[in-house]
Structure 1
Amino acid sequence: MSAIAGNWIVHREVGDGELGATARRLTASLAHRGRQRQPLVRPGAGLALAAVSACEVQSCIAVSPDERYVVVTGGAAASSGRHAPAQVIARRLADSGALDVLRDVADAVSVAIWDGHEKTLTLSRDRMGQCDLYYTCTAFGLVFASELKTLSHECMGGGEVDPQAVSQLLRYGYIPAPRTAYRGIYKLPAGTLRVFHAAEVRDWHRSAAAAGPFTAHWSLKTLVETRRCTSAAPSLAASVDAVLDRLQAAIGRARGPGTACLLSGGVDSSLVTALLQQQSAAAVETITVGFDEPGHDESAWAAEVAGHLRTRNTRLVMNDASALRLVETAPRVFCEPYADSSAIPTLLAAEAAGTSCRTLLTGDGGDELFFGHGSYVKAMRNHRLVRRVPAAVRRALGAHAARNPERARLGGVAALVSEAASGSLAETYLMRVSRWRDPSRALKAASEAPRHFLESSLHPACRHPAELLLFLDQTHELSEGLMTKCDRAFGAFGVQARSPFLDADVLSLAWDMPFEHKLRPGETKAVLKRALERYLPEHHVRRPKKGFGAPVARWLQGPLRDWADDLLDPVAIRNRGILDEAVVAGLWKSFLDGNRKYHTHLWPVLMFLAWDREWNAAAPGTQAFHARTYAA
């Protein structure tokens, strides 16, 4: 994925030399994204811009024919020339407003638009959140970037950690927009834009609307509620044909020289690999990651799939040494706390991909679009059972579970009691995906951030109740979690990660399709499995999948024990003042005493502490460096 950054200095006059130095500094902060780099300045406006890409960076920058607009795009690099998103947007802005133009942009790109007449800067994030875009105001003006680390540098150190953002990390494993780990630094929500005026930037610190308002240029909720309804539902075979046609087209748009596939051996990545190989005369490169623990390792199975599809497969096996190395690397790569354990094997794959390819196709989104997660089925089953429990009994069970909500993670009676207190399908599912059931208990002085997951006013009217689970995962776990993981991990090694399942045409088809083609009796993701049967034998298609999660519990007992002990030092935690050292120490002791399932709680705590040490312990030195830079 290409990346962008900008600094709009509005509080004072700025010379050409300083502006050029700012543009070069922004470019350097994103240098890992690729060798193609271009700083750009608008001296009269006090604007410094930067674009960095593994492909053709010229495709990421465009000026409108009348020179009124400058457009910079980050994300999936499109073909160079007149059809690249930046060029298309720049041409259309002469006749339409930014909102109308951005409504039609289906590419996975973040966008910055400078309007030289109105003296405004418009920032926009793509529909499904594949391209993060952060922003804040400094003592000099507005700064934005594809990565949080750039803002941390420009702000002379990251700033004050937001405890409510930490509560979201403990619950979800990621921090959803518009919050970030720092107070005063925000991330655009997916499918939104924001227009900044110079006066607003100058009054930023007195404004109560620093985190908004956002304007939606696209809405998944609207797509769900306005999808096409045909008088006669298509057959399952017709849906299979449609999926294959749309995926083939999406892969054709995404592929380029040096395109490879991340192959897990599961349905989604196998189908993407099969279709890419079908379009390629030579053997496609595939990358497979496994573990040296049989209970988590699927690399041998993936290698069989690669052999059947005749790809050129690289099989990587993560051992204890590589686990420790990559865990220590993760905070620098992600530059914001991120606690999905699959990030560690993803980094191993990204490292290998960086030596051999520029674009990597993944199967991300297949589960969330086509009902592939087993947790969906369990949530539906449990919710049906809970509805039979009288409301008064549910309230009593809820009060009992609230005394020690985290114990439910250990299973048994505690888990049954906790889920029996659920009041809705969304709440039942939230319990299944939450790391911490009550993250505020782990914080010194902060309540949990609002759980938009449960706000029914944000939910669409669905044809089938289970579709709500798909909507929730697409707007939360996929947009704010998995896409950030892929963007950071692969971007760190100059590789574009693209998911054909999130192509606009595939997304629309998934929601137009009858739900019964996704979930059939005893079978999830039915339409994709039928599609894959055209390329692989049935026994390769229908088998239990272990997922891409790392063996965290074993790691914390073995190769990561010393690393975790060091981070969990009670004195250091107490002195930092964010987490409750007694709660954390009690959880660590319980884990070491045999309650291994508490690794789900410990991992986000450790990821936060590792990130905090990496980015905030050195903040004074960072501040001094940038103070000198600005003074110069």
Structure 2
Amino acid sequence: MCGICGIVCYDESIRVNQELVERMMLGIKHRGPDDCGLYVKKIVGLGHTRLSIIDLKGGRQPIFNEDQSMCIVFNGEIYNYLELRNDLVQKGHIFGTRSDTEVILHLYEDKGERCVEYLRGMFAFAIWDSKARSLFLARDRLGIKPLYYDLRPKSLAFSSELKSLLEIGMSSRELNLVAADHYFTLNYTIGPQTAIQGIEKLMPGHTLLMREPGIRLNEYWDFAEVAELGDPFDACYSKMKELIEEAVRIRLMSEVPLGAFLSGGVDSSVIVGIMTMLTGKPVKTFTVGYENAEADSELKYAKKVAKHFDCEHHEFILKPKNFMDIIKKVVWHLDEPIAEYAAVPLLLLSELAKQHVTVMLSGEGADEIFAGYPIYRYMNQIELYRRAPERLRKAFEKCIAGPLLRNKREGKYLDWLSTSLEERYLGNGSYLTARMKNRLYSEDFFASVNTSEPYDAIGKYYRKIPNRDAIGKMLYLDTKTWLPEDLLIKADKMTMAAAIELRVPFLDHKLVEYAASLPAGMKVRNFESKYIFKRYAEELLPRDIVYRPKKGFPVPVKKWLRQELNTTAQELLLDKRTRERGLLNSKYIESMLNQHIAGKEDFSKNIWNLLVFEIWMRTFIDGDL
């Protein structure tokens, strides 16, 4: 796991210099504290910061091919690199290292742009071909590893992190208003846009080839066309089990110590169980709890799982003071405005884990491929409700639902009953409805953005899967948006901030494709989420761990914003500097704060969204680094 960056400039009057690349490398130094390397020649410069995991002595980058005409910088892990290497050796390729990085380079020589189709792992890499004068960028299928780029008429700069691109001054620190609208609506931005005007993300499952005079983008992987299986339950169960255990096994490859994040929920507990089964050794596990917030803490469940598998268990207790003290650091590392509470405990837990291990496994992705979130059941039930005769629905909404729901979440739940899935479900992070947006935005901001744009951006994913059932549509959408734009950004940036490599077995692309082929009835049955997955979990875990309500790494922000953190929130959100941005209605924000503090309504998610955005603005737009 590393950081990569670089720049190519086809303007012959300009030469890329070493100082420029070194400035970019400074912005990603935390991703690779073990070593660094760079290559600068005429129109190209490539930089790399290394966290050593495999081939500790020989894997220094950039790495070159036999005749030095191509070189690569790479971030990630390729789990099938040994098989690929053997095939390439038989074809006559000569290797100078034992690293997976060099395998990718020779595979590119052999297969060209299609090399990515053979890779099983997580990756973002850049290959410079001096003979063709071309730059090839690639990102893994699910978007586990990030890659940003800034394209100009005759140049392109790229990096693992957005802040690295800001170091060289190609981009102005200008807010992308469309992306800001995405953020307020969804709690994250939808790629390829970022919140900085001019900087984009290379999308998951995509490659980019730059040759003078322009670029070509290519989507090399998607699972929209995966057909539903007609196999019996037992056959599906056996194949799923095989793929899950294989996904964990290949991710145990390492020359440094490994561990696992353990929330005490079913996903992370299954990972720990499989690791124990495969290694026969106690797994180093790490979990977080919260001071004076027992209802939100999962320490007792994590302890139970750790004891069940005889783990070497570690705990961290997060206090409200720690929470606000570290939020600026969290926002700086995230690069993008992402309203994800769990980023804070994840960073602190990663710093604790770094004292013991360098590689961690976690349960990200299981909910998105096996339908683990309760919202999927709720939305599916609304779909069934909407099939009822219209006159019955109108009577129900007028006499029962209206009085009960009209004032809940600003009428959000009532709106759901009258809108299609494509209109009401914008992803797991979605929170701000059109009605709420109209109150939150200032008149100028509301007028400057097309407030239906987030719906249009989401709509392109729904249009790819018109014939799937409601569960299948939501899982596809979340795997293409919420997962790479929120959860995986958080997971990558917070662990890399502590120089930890995070591996996510449930997002092995073969497992993702297979899960997509399972019928909805194997995922949600009799109001039970992740049905087939939990049947497998029963083989490894106590039933009370498998079937307890889902929490994840919960954070008691609702409580803290009413008590310890309410003064901080008010001071920041009602500050003159915040109000003078002219984006939001400060009177509405003050009303939200007052209602939340008084316990009249739970606006914790909205308040957190606004807090993160203002801190992000001060960090990345105002430059208060």
| Corresponding letter in the other structure for 1:64 | N
Measured after TM superposition, the shift of residue 612 of structure 1 is 1.1
Measured after TM superposition, the shift of residue 117 of structure 1 is 2.1
- What is residue 584 of structure 1 aligned with on the other side? 589
- What is residue 206 of structure 1 aligned with on the other side? none
- What is residue 177 of structure 2 aligned with on the other side? 163
Q: 1:140 to 1:426 in 2, by over 3 A?
A: closer
- What is residue 94 of structure 2 aligned with on the other side? none
**297-306 or 458-467, larger mean C-alpha shift:** 458-467
The whole-number CA distance in structure 2 between the counterparts of 1:607 and 1:76 is 31
Measured after TM superposition, the shift of residue 44 of structure 1 is 3.3
Query: What SS class does the counterpart of residue 576 from structure 1 fall into?
Result: coil
Q: 1:198 to 1:580 in 2, by over 3 A?
A: farther
Whether contact under 8 Å (2:427, 2:481) holds in the other structure is no
The whole-number CA distance in structure 1 between the counterparts of 2:122 and 2:463 is 23
The whole-number CA distance in structure 1 between the counterparts of 2:370 and 2:321 is 36
Q: 1:265 to 1:432 in 2, by over 3 A?
A: closer
| Corresponding letter in the other structure for 1:364 | E
- What is residue 96 of structure 2 aligned with on the other side? none
Measured after TM superposition, the shift of residue 7 of structure 1 is 1.9
Measured after TM superposition, the shift of residue 316 of structure 1 is 1.7
**RMSD of equivalent CA atoms:** 3.0
| Residues 288-336 of structure 1: CA deviation (Å, up to 9, x unaligned) | 1122312211111111111011111112221222222232321122122
The whole-number CA distance in structure 1 between the counterparts of 2:363 and 2:491 is 11
Whether contact under 8 Å (2:207, 2:218) holds in the other structure is yes
1:133 aligns with 2:132: no
Whether contact under 8 Å (2:371, 2:475) holds in the other structure is yes
- What is residue 253 of structure 1 aligned with on the other side? 250
Whether contact under 8 Å (2:171, 2:198) holds in the other structure is no
The whole-number CA distance in structure 2 between the counterparts of 1:605 and 1:391 is 40
- What is residue 202 of structure 2 aligned with on the other side? 188
The whole-number CA distance in structure 2 between the counterparts of 1:267 and 1:387 is 34
- What is residue 441 of structure 2 aligned with on the other side? 443
The whole-number CA distance in structure 2 between the counterparts of 1:113 and 1:310 is 44
User: For 1:230-245, what aligned pairs fall within 5 Å after superposition?
Assistant: 233-236=231-234, 238-245=235-242
Query: What SS class does the counterpart of residue 127 from structure 1 fall into?
Result: coil
Q: 1:175 to 1:433 in 2, by over 3 A?
A: closer
Whether contact under 8 Å (1:358, 1:496) holds in the other structure is yes
Query: What SS class does the counterpart of residue 606 from structure 1 fall into?
Result: helix
| Corresponding letter in the other structure for 1:426 | E
1:427 aligns with 2:423: yes
Measured after TM superposition, the shift of residue 78 of structure 1 is 5.4
User: For 1:544-559, what aligned pairs fall within 5 Å after superposition?
Assistant: 544-559=549-564
The whole-number CA distance in structure 1 between the counterparts of 2:427 and 2:130 is 49
Measured after TM superposition, the shift of residue 374 of structure 1 is 1.0
User: For 1:479-518, what aligned pairs fall within 5 Å after superposition?
Assistant: 479-518=484-523
| Corresponding letter in the other structure for 1:515 | A
1:277 aligns with 2:272: no
| Residues 10-41 of structure 1: CA deviation (Å, up to 9, x unaligned) | 335556xx722233333222111132333221
The whole-number CA distance in structure 1 between the counterparts of 2:391 and 2:156 is 51
The whole-number CA distance in structure 2 between the counterparts of 1:578 and 1:493 is 34
**46-55 or 296-305, larger mean C-alpha shift:** 46-55
The whole-number CA distance in structure 1 between the counterparts of 2:468 and 2:622 is 50
1:527 aligns with 2:532: yes
| Residues 481-515 of structure 1: CA deviation (Å, up to 9, x unaligned) | 10000000000000011110011222122123343
Q: 1:110 to 1:388 in 2, by over 3 A?
A: same
Unaligned runs of 5+ in 2: 86-98
Measured after TM superposition, the shift of residue 442 of structure 1 is 3.0
Query: What SS class does the counterpart of residue 597 from structure 1 fall into?
Result: coil
Q: 1:215 to 1:406 in 2, by over 3 A?
A: farther
- What is residue 209 of structure 1 aligned with on the other side? none
Whether contact under 8 Å (1:41, 1:48) holds in the other structure is yes
1:358 aligns with 2:363: no
Tell me which of 32, 38, 41 is aligned to 1:40.
38
| Corresponding letter in the other structure for 1:184 | G
Measured after TM superposition, the shift of residue 371 of structure 1 is 1.3
The whole-number CA distance in structure 2 between the counterparts of 1:240 and 1:79 is 24
The whole-number CA distance in structure 2 between the counterparts of 1:130 and 1:53 is 17
The whole-number CA distance in structure 1 between the counterparts of 2:468 and 2:319 is 46
The whole-number CA distance in structure 2 between the counterparts of 1:34 and 1:79 is 23
The whole-number CA distance in structure 2 between the counterparts of 1:289 and 1:390 is 48
Unaligned runs of 5+ in 1: 201-211, 623-632
Measured after TM superposition, the shift of residue 54 of structure 1 is 4.3
The whole-number CA distance in structure 2 between the counterparts of 1:130 and 1:31 is 19
- What is residue 347 of structure 1 aligned with on the other side? 347
Query: What SS class does the counterpart of residue 346 from structure 1 fall into?
Result: helix
Measured after TM superposition, the shift of residue 59 of structure 1 is 6.8
Measured after TM superposition, the shift of residue 179 of structure 1 is 0.9
The whole-number CA distance in structure 2 between the counterparts of 1:126 and 1:406 is 44
User: For 1:386-465, what aligned pairs fall within 5 Å after superposition?
Assistant: 386-388=386-388, 390=390, 408-409=408-409, 414-423=411-420, 425-430=421-426, 433-438=429-434, 439=437, 441-444=439-442, 445=445, 446-447=448-449, 448=451, 449-451=453-455, 452-455=457-460, 458-461=463-466, 464-465=469-470
- What is residue 105 of structure 2 aligned with on the other side? 90
Q: What's the % identity of the aligned pairs?
A: 25
- What is residue 561 of structure 1 aligned with on the other side? 566
Could you tell me the TM-score, scaled by structure 2's length?
0.87
Q: 1:86 to 1:428 in 2, by over 3 A?
A: same
**459-468 or 129-138, larger mean C-alpha shift:** 459-468
Query: What SS class does the counterpart of residue 175 from structure 2 fall into?
Result: coil
- What is residue 75 of structure 1 aligned with on the other side? 76
| Corresponding letter in the other structure for 1:104 | Y
Measured after TM superposition, the shift of residue 406 of structure 1 is 10
Q: 1:279 to 1:158 in 2, by over 3 A?
A: farther
1:150 aligns with 2:164: yes
**88-97 or 270-279, larger mean C-alpha shift:** 88-97
Could you tell me the TM-score, scaled by structure 1's length?
0.86
The whole-number CA distance in structure 1 between the counterparts of 2:584 and 2:251 is 43
The whole-number CA distance in structure 2 between the counterparts of 1:300 and 1:254 is 28
The whole-number CA distance in structure 2 between the counterparts of 1:52 and 1:22 is 19
Whether contact under 8 Å (1:490, 1:496) holds in the other structure is yes
User: For 1:264-303, what aligned pairs fall within 5 Å after superposition?
Assistant: 264-292=263-291, 293-303=293-303
| Residues 385-435 of structure 1: CA deviation (Å, up to 9, x unaligned) | 1332639988xx89xx9xxx995426xxx3442112212x23343387422
